[in-house]
């Protein structure tokens, strides 16, 4: 057995034992698709010992490359929208913009997609092409369409898929618009997160079909949702749980913070809650639903740490800090953001603090609602 085959086998065994890989057709597909073929351009590893998140490149044929390809980890393949491992010597400290998702999550999502033979699938976020290859192997390349926003990423995925002999329909463009030409689809799967599920995805899925996507937002909380499309043109379904996190679809990324409002100039009062609601995964999701336009930053001011929420569009802001045993909040702008956060988290706690699996998403022409 080659080293590649050995490492691949270990990964398959691990994904099976942890329950990500559950059914025979997906086990066969996962065994047939070698992940290293989709990482020939190398990847970035997180560099330790830096205040900022820094990344260093691991190029093909460098020590650790092959092992890295078969670890159950997400591997960053592009940084800051253009930079690939070949471009860098040393470290870089910018945000990742494309990656190969950890295989156990890819397979868990493909299992959750509940495909059947002959299904037409639209994938949003081709990335390296690894998940596209799995879909092609399971369903046949004629049944798979994949959309990638970034032309360079799309070109590399096309080459990698061609290298292993797979030729699905690959589209370069904004996957939030779906791909009307191939509609209706039986399934839509997104491997980037969205703030709101696009109505185009609902329109392009046949009644009874499924949309599997991560719903995220600007406070960094997210969860996987599986929606069923109904005859009346709406879609609804539960969040699936598991703390699934993906990079946001590029058109859904937050706007720059710009010039900060004057954070000293606001009304101060005691807060009924502390910033733990922003740290816990579930309550952060609840806060994000309450103030979807808010972004968070942490500032040192007057010798104390303040957690600040800023809504760039409205100019509203709230700064929360601890003073001895109590929490204080100072707010400014047209909307008292923290009042909304207190009200929404209070209602959620009052209802017994349900877990995200108890939340339901509905998408209709009027927009998206998420309720517990």
Ligand X SMILES: C[S@@+](CC[C@H](N)C(=O)[O-])C[C@H]1O[C@@H](n2cnc3c(N)ncnc32)[C@H](O)[C@@H]1O
Q: Which residues bind ligand X (CB under 6 A)?
A: 98-101, 106, 124-125, 127-128, 130-131, 147-150, 153, 174-176, 191-192, 246-247, 249-251
Q: Which is nearer to ligand X, 148 or 306 (CB)?
A: 148
Q: Tell me how far apart the alpha carbons of residues 131 and 187 are, in angstroms, rounded to a whole number.
A: 14
User: Least distance to ligand X from the beta carbon of 322, Å?
Assistant: 36
Length of the chain: 372
User: Least distance to ligand X from the beta carbon of 216, Å?
Assistant: 12
User: Least distance to ligand X from the beta carbon of 48, Å?
Assistant: 23
Q: Which is nearer to ligand X, 127 or 261 (CB)?
A: 127
Q: Which is nearer to ligand X, 148 or 311 (CB)?
A: 148
CB 119 within 8 A of CB 136: no
Q: Which residue in the shown chain puts its C-beta closest to ligand X?
A: 127
Q: Which of 281, 260, 247, 296 is nearest to 101 (CA)?
A: 247
User: Least distance to ligand X from the beta carbon of 333, Å?
Assistant: 30
Q: Which is nearer to ligand X, 191 or 368 (CB)?
A: 191
User: Least distance to ligand X from the beta carbon of 89, Å?
Assistant: 24
Q: Which is nearer to ligand X, 44 or 348 (CB)?
A: 44
Q: 144: helix, coil or strand?
A: strand
Q: Tell me how far apart the alpha carbons of residues 206 and 226 are, in angstroms, rounded to a whole number.
A: 15
User: Least distance to ligand X from the beta carbon of 271, Å?
Assistant: 36
Cα separation values, 109 from 93, 105, 194, 223, Å: 30, 6, 16, 12
CB 76 within 8 A of CB 97: no
Q: Tell me how far apart the alpha carbons of residues 83 and 77 are, in angstroms, rounded to a whole number.
A: 8
List the alpha helices (DSSP H) in 164-264: 199-203
């Amino acid at each position: 057995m080659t080293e590649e085959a050995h490492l691949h086998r270990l990964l398959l065994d691990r994904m099976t034992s942890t329950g990500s890989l559950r059914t025979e057709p997906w086990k066969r597909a996962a065994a047939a698709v070698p992940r290293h073929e989709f990482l020939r351009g190398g990847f970035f590893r997180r560099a330790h010992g830096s205040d900022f998140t820094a990344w260093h490149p691991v190029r093909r044929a460098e020590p650790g490359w092959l092992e890295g390809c078969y670890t159950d980890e997400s591997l960053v393949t592009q940084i800051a929208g253009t930079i690939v491992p070949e471009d860098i010597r040393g470290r870089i400290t910018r945000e990742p913009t494309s990656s190969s998702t950890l295989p156990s999550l890819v397979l868990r999502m493909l299992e959750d997609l509940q495909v059947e033979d002959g299904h037409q699938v639209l994938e949003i976020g081709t990335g390296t092409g690894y998940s596209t290859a799995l879909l092609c192997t399971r369903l046949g390349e004629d049944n798979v369409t994949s959309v990638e926003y970034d032309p360079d990423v799309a070109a590399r995925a096309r080459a990698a898929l061609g290298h292993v002999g797979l030729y699905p329909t690959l589209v370069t463009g904004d996957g939030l618009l779906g791909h009307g030409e191939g509609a209706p689809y039986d399934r839509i799967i997104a491997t980037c997160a969205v703030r709101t599920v696009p109505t185009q995805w609902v329109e392009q899925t046949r009644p009874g079909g499924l949309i599997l996507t991560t719903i995220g937002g600007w406070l960094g909380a997210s969860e996987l949702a599986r929606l069923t499309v109904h005859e009346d043109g709406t879609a609804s379904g539960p969040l699936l749980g598991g703390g699934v996190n993906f990079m946001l679809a590029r058109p859904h990324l937050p706007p720059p913070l710009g010039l900060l409002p004057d954070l000293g100039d606001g009304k101060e009062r005691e807060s009924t809650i502390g910033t733990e609601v922003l740290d816990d995964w579930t309550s952060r999701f609840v806060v994000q639903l309450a103030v979807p336009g808010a972004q968070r930053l942490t500032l040192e001011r007057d010798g104390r740490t303040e957690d600040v929420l800023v809504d760039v569009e409205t100019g509203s802001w709230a700064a929360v800090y601890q003073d001895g045993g109590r929490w204080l909040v100072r707010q400014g702008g047209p909307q008292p953001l923290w009042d909304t956060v207190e009200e929404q988290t209070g209602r959620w706690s009052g209802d017994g603090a349900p877990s995200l699996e108890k939340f339901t998403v509905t998408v209709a022409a009027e927009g998206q609602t998420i309720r517990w």
